[in-house]
Amino acid sequence: MKRKLAAAIGIAGMMVSIAACGDGDGKGGAAGGGADAKELTVWLTVDAQNNWPQLVKAADAAVQKKHPGLKITHEYYGWPDKNAKLDAVLATDKAPDVVEMGNSEMLGYMVKGAFAPVDPAKFTNSGAWLDGLKTSVTYQGKTYGVPYYAGGRIATWRKDVFAAAGVKSTPKTYQELTADLDKVQKKQGSGFSAWYQPTRDWYAAMSFVYDAGGAIAKEEGGRWKASLSSPESLKGLKEFKNVVDRYMHGDKTKDESDRYIVFGQGKSGMIFGAAWEGATSADPKNDKTGKLKDNLENFVMPGPSGKNMPVFLGGSDLAIPVRSDAQALAAEWINAFTGPSGQKGLMAKGNLPNNKTDLATLKNDPATAVPATAAESNWFVPMAPGWGRVEKQQILQTMLQDIGTGKKSVEAAAKDADAAIDKVINTK
């Protein structure tokens, strides 16, 4: 569920005009006006159109039952197309009333005042929203969106490769994991990656940082300060380097974008990534070994701390543009779509729900227990005004590549990354 903030970075001028919109036109302020609107426009990604259109229809029907004659129009976009279109209309009267956002896209728009605040109390199960998703819709103490669904990260390995090295069951501790990996690495040799872990994969690396008690940055007195050089963060980064040095024998300048393709090529035994990656590797068009189907096993990644590894919690949120003149109806539609029946439908399609109550039910099903358990321990990016600039400059990726390739020591790379982050993280 990786969503980029780049599209949100260059819209400062447009957002100034949004912020300047007066409340007198009935389009600004909190999501409370527009209950008598006659039309509602909802923008979703093609995921909803292709995979759960019946849930969209059910939400429409629920709202239209309460508001006879209401016209609901849906537009569907691919992820890159959606943001380009949204940026073009946010400051106009053509803005949608509901828009789907990747949770890592939310921050740039909230900082610029693009979305109307909402009252969490009006949304079912808001008190149990998953921490990572709740963080993604919260800025400076206000809520600007509603979590839609989530996607976590898990470990996936090849049963045949590990069995050949004498490993019969998935590990419960990090010590067991590394012992198993050592066996595979010894048996397969240096041309094989027991754990294919792309060096520039900052989602995985920061899981090590947060597991060790560190953080990318922390807020102090209303300002954010990078903290990758803290003792805790350094501990996590050093263990990440240890993994890359011992088990990753591929190109150490790569990111995770084609990890599922590399895994399908048969030169690695394990990956730690988005829950969909293993299954996608086993797709016949990606599986060059012909052995991955029914041969992959998922498990919750154990952390060096002795607890489950905290994972980046990706997913989608729903927001109401501040220029919408149907904010109250938009909130009703979102609640109908993300409520209990909607979450049940989303879970049936393989998604993680937006709340801990429903998540707990998935832990009882062997088919969903691993991703559901893994998602319980999660982290999210610093909700700082300049975080989008940090991502755009790829500061974390550069640091990790310097560490993985040995260009810099862990301490030097972290110090340089902290300096680069501090220059931009508080800038809107």
Q: What is the pLDDT of residue 35?
A: 73
Beta bridge partners of 42: 74, 98
pLDDT band at 11 (very low <50, low <70, confident <90, very high): very low
The token pair that represents 313 in the structure block: 């919690």
Q: What is the pLDDT of residue 36?
A: 83
Mean of all residue pLDDT scores within the chain: 91
Q: What is the mean pLDDT of residues 137-166?
A: 96
Phi, psi of 44 (to 5 degrees): -130, 165
Res. 2: pLDDT tops 90? no
Q: What is the pLDDT of residue 341?
A: 96
CB atoms within 10 A of CB 123: 21
pLDDT band at 364 (very low <50, low <70, confident <90, very high): confident
Q: What is the pLDDT of residue 406?
A: 97
The CA distances from residue 386 to 144, 392, 428, in Å, are 18, 10, 5
Res. 17: pLDDT tops 50? no
The CA distances from residue 106 to 48, 101, 126, 284, in Å, are 19, 6, 18, 35
Helix H, strand E, coil C: the string for the chain is CCCCCHHHHCCHHHHHHHHCCCHHHCCCCCCCCCCCCCEEEEEEEHHHHHHCHHHHHHHHHHHHHHCCCCEEEEEEECHHHHHHHHHHHCCCCCCCCEEEEECCCHHHHHHCCCECCCCHHHCCCHHHECHHHHHHCEECCEECCEEEEEECEEEEEEHHHHHHCCCCCCCCCHHHHHHHHHHHHHHHCCCCECCCCCCCCHHHHHHHHHHCCCCCEEEECCEEEECCCCHHHHHHHHHHHHHHHHHCCCCCCCCCCCHHHHHHCCCECEEEEECCHHHHHCCCCCCCCCCCCCCEEEECCECCCCCECCEECEEEEEECECCCCCHHHHHHHHHHHHCHHHHHHHHHCCCECCEHHHHHHHCCCCCCHHHHHHHCCEECCCCCCCHHHHHHCCHHHHHHHHHHHCCCCHHHHHHHHHHHHHHHCCCC
pLDDT in tens, 178-217: 999 999 999 999 999 999 999 999 999 999 999 999 999 9
Q: What is the pLDDT of residue 32?
A: 55
pLDDT in tens, 321-335: 999 999 999 999 999
Q: What is the pLDDT of residue 91?
A: 86
The token pair that represents 131 in the structure block: 């921490």
pLDDT band at 79 (very low <50, low <70, confident <90, very high): confident
Through-space distance between the first and last CA atoms of the chain, rounded to whole angstroms = 25
pLDDT in tens, 25-46: 333 334 556 678 899 999 999 9
Res. 21: pLDDT tops 70? no
Q: What is the pLDDT of residue 139?
A: 95
Long-range (24+ apart) CB contacts under 8 A made by 217-220 are 217/382, 217/384, 217/421, 217/425, 218/382, 219/382, 219/384
pLDDT band at 350 (very low <50, low <70, confident <90, very high): confident
Q: What is the pLDDT of residue 80?
A: 78
User: What's the pTM value of the predicted model, to 2 decimals?
Assistant: 0.88
Res. 135: pLDDT tops 70? yes
Q: What is the mean pLDDT of residues 129-134?
A: 94
Res. 12: pLDDT tops 80? no
Distance CA 341, CA 307 (A): 33
The token pair that represents 154 in the structure block: 């898990």
pLDDT band at 9 (very low <50, low <70, confident <90, very high): very low
Most confident of the ranges 9-13, 336-340, 347-351: 336-340
The token pair that represents 91 in the structure block: 């400051």
Distance CA 366, CA 280 (A): 20
Distance CA 342, CA 287 (A): 34
pLDDT in tens, 257-314: 999 999 999 999 999 999 999 999 999 999 999 999 999 999 999 999 999 999 999 9
Distance CA 80, CA 83 (A): 6
pLDDT band at 152 (very low <50, low <70, confident <90, very high): confident
**Residue listed under structure tokens 């946010």:** 90
Res. 23: pLDDT tops 60? no
Beta bridge partners of 142: 139
